[in-house]
Amino acid sequence: MLNKSENPPEGLVSCEVCLKEIPRSVGRSQEGSDYVLHFCGDNCFVEWQKGQPEAGKPDTQAGK
């Protein structure tokens, strides 16, 4: 049982790219409209961004 002076164990989340488990407080997050993604660091965040469509970029396939 935890003493009042002890903090409860921190929840872990998985990095969206490498799936490494990290404490929620140290991970970088990207909030979406319905979800929050967590990243263990800037390298994984940049890798994830490379695979995302750019916001505001016109779709060249639209209207064909």
Q: pTM value?
A: 0.56
Residue 48 contacts residue 17 (beta carbons within 8 Å): yes
The per-residue pLDDT for range 22-38, each reduced to its tens digit, is: 888 877 777 766 778 88
For position 5, what pLDDT does the model report? Answer: 47
The chain-wide mean pLDDT, for the chain, equals 75
Nearest to 38 by CA among 20, 51, 54: 20
Both structure tokens of 36 = 């929050």
